[in-house]
């Protein structure tokens, strides 16, 4: 970035492109699953979600959407409307019309009380039924948008996403994956969709700018490059050479240091250590996630799965006092998204601190 600032352009107006932006587009297309061969940039993740939705609406000529209650997609109007958390929409009156929401698959806490170890496909069918019903009654559906792996995290089965993709084909809607959190290496593959299938649009953000500059964008198929007479982006800093230099540095670093492979290997080591903890501490009801996107569902009772809200708060305080920070999702689920460059030592520290916390709360 410094080189770009010192020796070349810091900014290009919209009508011009620039070399780092073009090189980045080439790299993203090379490194993403085959078929994702068009890129459009913008400054932030919420804006990238807007672009993905606008693209879907233009392409299909339809306007409704299906999204998931458990997914956050940003704070701009349409992104907030497809997001599932009322925190971002309450008191605002009607949001975007035609934005339907369904439940994201959660096998451990499925509402039907089915066994998450033995009845996954049955659970999938029940979640899919909600989507199918809406599609049947709303033929003007433009897109289904979701995070391939929910940030909580919950990891849907390959079967679930394949069926959703099939439904999108059947009902002529686009499938949009929001990879703003789970993309760029976090789950042990460069793109989270690699665990599943190639959607119509992948949305990137956050780490694309290396944590230094805001930068985001969408990746899509060449056949959708058909809006020459419309603008679905049109941001002043849409293809910033500075942000592109940052993103190129991110991708080059990740390639050079084999970050994705490390996340995959160390993610398994991390998970293995947590599974060992689970043998000793019944408060650990369930461990979910992939790579460096990890969740621990804390329960007071393994059978009733009553969320261990109070103990979770105590565990968080204990860990914060010792330099380990994480977020509690829904009050009882420890969610961890460590930096992709951490090593075994840091993982051992995390696990040892958690062990101390579980011992301290007497569980």
Ligand X SMILES: Cc1ncc(COP(=O)(O)O)c(C=O)c1O
Catalog residues that contact ligand X under the rule CB under 6 A: 44-46, 49, 72-74, 147, 151, 178, 180-181, 205, 216
Q: 119: exposed, middle or buried (C-beta count within 10 Å: 0-12, 13-18, 19+)?
A: middle
CB of 178: closest distance to ligand X in angstroms? 5
Please count the other Cβ atoms lying within 10 Å of the Cβ belonging to residue 144: 28
Q: With respect to ligand X, which residue has the nearer C-beta, 151 or 220?
A: 151
CB of 31: closest distance to ligand X in angstroms? 20
CB of 93: closest distance to ligand X in angstroms? 22
Placement of tokens 């899919």 in the chain: 128
Q: Is the distance from CB of 10 to CB of 244 less than 8 angstroms? A: no
Return the closest-CA partner of residue 139 out of 64, 67, 57: 64
CB of 129: closest distance to ligand X in angstroms? 25
Q: With respect to ligand X, which residue has the nearer C-beta, 147 or 220?
A: 147
Distance CA 170, CA 304 (A): 39
Q: With respect to ligand X, which residue has the nearer C-beta, 66 or 180?
A: 180
Question: Residue length, the chain?
Answer: 363
Q: Is the distance from CB of 334 to CB of 326 less than 8 angstroms? A: yes
Q: With respect to ligand X, which residue has the nearer C-beta, 149 or 248?
A: 149
* Residue 141 half-sphere exposure toward CB, CA atoms < 13 A: 27
Task: Give the residue closest to ligand X by C-beta.
Answer: 45
Distance CA 340, CA 255 (A): 13
**Is beta strand 174-178 parallel, antiparallel or unpaired with respect to 141-146?**
parallel
CB of 192: closest distance to ligand X in angstroms? 11
Q: With respect to ligand X, which residue has the nearer C-beta, 57 or 186?
A: 186
CB of 179: closest distance to ligand X in angstroms? 8
Q: With respect to ligand X, which residue has the nearer C-beta, 135 or 190?
A: 190
């Amino acid at each position: 970035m410094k080189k770009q600032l010192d020796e070349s352009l810091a900014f290009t107006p919209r009508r011009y492109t620039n070399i780092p932006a073009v090189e980045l587009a080439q790299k993203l297309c090379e490194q993403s699953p085959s078929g994702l061969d068009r890129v459009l940039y913008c400054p932030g993740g919420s804006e990238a979600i807007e672009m993905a939705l606008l693209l879907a609406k233009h392409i299909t000529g339809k306007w409704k959407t299906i999204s998931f209650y458990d997914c956050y997609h940003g704070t701009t109007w349409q992104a907030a409307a497809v997001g599932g958390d009322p925190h971002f929409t309450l008191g605002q009156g009607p949001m975007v019309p035609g934005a339907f929401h369904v439940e994201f698959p959660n096998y451990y806490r499925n509402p039907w009380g089915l066994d998450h170890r033995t009845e996954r496909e049955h659970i999938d069918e029940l979640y899919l039924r909600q989507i199918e019903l809406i599609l049947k009654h709303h033929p003007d559906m433009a897109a289904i948008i979701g995070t391939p792996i929910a940030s909580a995290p919950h990891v849907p089965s390959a079967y679930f996403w394949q069926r959703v993709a099939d439904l999108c084909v059947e009902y002529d809607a686009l499938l949009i994956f929001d990879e703003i959190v789970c993309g760029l290496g976090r789950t042990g593959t460069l793109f989270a969709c690699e665990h599943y299938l190639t959607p119509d649009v992948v949305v990137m953000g956050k780490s694309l700018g290396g944590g230094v500059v805001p930068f985001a964008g969408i990746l899509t198929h060449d056949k959708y490059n058909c809006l020459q007479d419309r603008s679905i982006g049109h941001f002043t800093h849409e293809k910033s050479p500075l942000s592109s230099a940052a993103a190129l540095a991110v991708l080059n670093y990740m390639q050079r240091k084999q970050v994705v492979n490390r996340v995959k290997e160390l993610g398994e080591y991390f998970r293995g250590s947590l599974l060992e903890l689970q043998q000793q501490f019944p408060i650990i009801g369930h461990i979910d996630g992939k790579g460096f996107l990890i969740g621990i569902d804390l329960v007071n009772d393994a059978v009733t799965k009553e969320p261990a809200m109070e103990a979770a708060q105590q565990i968080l305080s204990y860990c914060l006092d010792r330099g380990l920070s994480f977020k509690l999702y829904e009050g009882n689920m420890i969610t961890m998204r460590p930096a992709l460059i951490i090593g075994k030592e840091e993982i051992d520290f995390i696990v040892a601190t958690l062990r101390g916390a579980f011992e301290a709360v007497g569980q």
